[in-house]
Amino acid sequence: MSHTYILGQQNSPSAVSDAVDLKLRGTRDGAAFTAPWIQALVLEGRVFGSGNGATALGVAAGTFSDGALDTDEFDYLQTIPATVAVIPVYIRLCIVTVGTALETGFHAFWGGSGVAHATNVAVTPHNLRPGSSNVSACTVVTIADTGGTAFVPAGLIARDVAMMLTPAANQATAFIPQWSCAQAGYAPVIEGGVSPTKQIAIFVTGQAETGYLHHVWVELPIARVT
């Protein structure tokens, strides 16, 4: 027979260096404390994000693809090298203006072969633990003109679309397309390959739309998932 012991540390938790044994922490009645895995990865410096608009960090709204989904016009293209695996965590589209009635929202795929047009906004992904020395191994571009090399979808991460009209002056935009792994209950694990064979592409559909696109992902050394 084995016994499991929990150290009651409700008010004064211990913090030690890496690779030091600790008892499982719990409340005084023995309920265990656990940290969400993604938050633990944030502490480790393994979670990255981008929040583009007209610029890499979205100081002003960007202009997305005009019309239906066009696989050679990228609103977001992330190329994943063979050294890492990426787990999408959160995608949100913030729409500032829309034009005529048309499908509005985003389609997020994994796949490959995409090459963005030379006119694009290059993004340096930010680490959600700014003090970490880890940097993303991925290459990210956004708001690229039409005329690049077409992306070939291999699987769907998420999509959120609806018919939308320009709201009247006294109306707020009610449709805020978004996806999170917490909401869905799952997330794909996209192992990198020789560039550009493994990519994440997000396409924003609609007519004359402007806004911001937010993406957050976990990025792990490939050895941790293979």
Q: Render pLDDT for 186-216 as a digit per residue (tens, 0 to 9).
A: 999 999 998 788 999 999 988 778 899 999 9
Closest to 49 in 3D by CA, of 111, 115, 132, 146 = 132
Compute the distance between CA of residue 110 and CA of residue 21 in angstroms, rounded to an integer.
39
- Is 0.75 topped by the overall pTM? yes
Structure tokens at 21: 């044994």
Which H/E stretch holds residue 184?
A: helix 181-184
Structure tokens at 47: 């979670």
The sheet carrying 121-123 orders its strands as 121-123, 139-142, 76-79, 199-205, 102-112, 152-164
Q: In the predicted model, is pLDDT for residue 174 greater than 70?
A: no
